[in-house]
Structure 1
């Protein structure tokens, strides 16, 4: 077996796996879409069986843009919200520790108030 035979084998294996990925993605999208009737789904699947490559390209071209527009927009503030959430969990722990100190009599009410203000970041 020549090296070029191995390269061609890898190339066509990659193409076949990519084809199967697109085919199953289109099938999943067809059956997940509540806007399509049962007959429309059956027709798309029928075309995918008999003319798979052309049907997949047509489906992605006609219905793919509708699916992309219906996706929710990404929230740019999500990392900040996650950081605030983690910080608030830390502040909850700090407030709980301050409450324990107050309950045991190790701190006064004024020191407790100062600790809670500090923990909340005000």
Structure 2
């Protein structure tokens, strides 16, 4: 290790980090090319060939020309994923707008009544057993 100074290690690590970052950006761009539903098939093929044949220049030009749309597609995808997740949670928890309320809502009401003293422990356990049956 004495023949490889610290500055050389720093530069080697920096170049390695930049190289890995470039690969991540390349894969992100290739994914974005296929995710864009507004671009024609020939447009996708052209961008893909350009990014593969001239990788550094292709990535730079793609980010300059289509970077804003790339961001919008990422935001739209994140919002759709969040909406799907929230819908799944509501459906699983049973609070998707059922007419009589869900079991979780009813149980929460029972706990609230018990905490206020309107129900005794025995009445609470009986109502809870009836609700969960």
1:58 is displaced (CA, Å) by: 1.3
1:64-88 per-residue CA deviation (whole Å, 9 max, x = no partner) reads 112334635x8xxxxxxxxxxxxxx
Q: Once superposed, what is the RMSD of the aligned Cα atoms?
A: 3.5
Q: Distance in 2 between the 1:69 and 1:104 partners?
A: 55
Distance verdict in 2 for CA 1:21–1:50, change over 3 Å? same
1:93 is displaced (CA, Å) by: 4.1
1:84-121 per-residue CA deviation (whole Å, 9 max, x = no partner) reads xxxxxx9754412328928939xxxxxxxxxxxxxxxx
1:37 aligns with 2:40: yes
Q: Which residue is equivalent to 2:70?
A: 67
| Aligned pairs (5 A) from 1:8-19 | 8-19=11-22
Question: What TM-score, normalized by structure 2, do the two folds share?
Answer: 0.55
Q: Which residue is equivalent to 1:26?
A: 29
| Aligned pairs (5 A) from 1:1-122 | 1-69=4-72, 71-72=75-76, 93-97=107-111, 98=113, 101=119, 104=123
Q: Which residue is equivalent to 1:82?
A: none
Gaps of 5+ in 2: 80-103, 125-133
Q: Distance in 2 between the 1:57 and 1:91 partners?
A: 53
Figure out how many residues of one structure are paired with residues of the other and give that number: 93
Larger relative contact order (Cα-Cα within 8 Å, sequence gap ≥ 6): 1
Q: Distance in 2 between the 1:67 and 1:55 partners?
A: 15
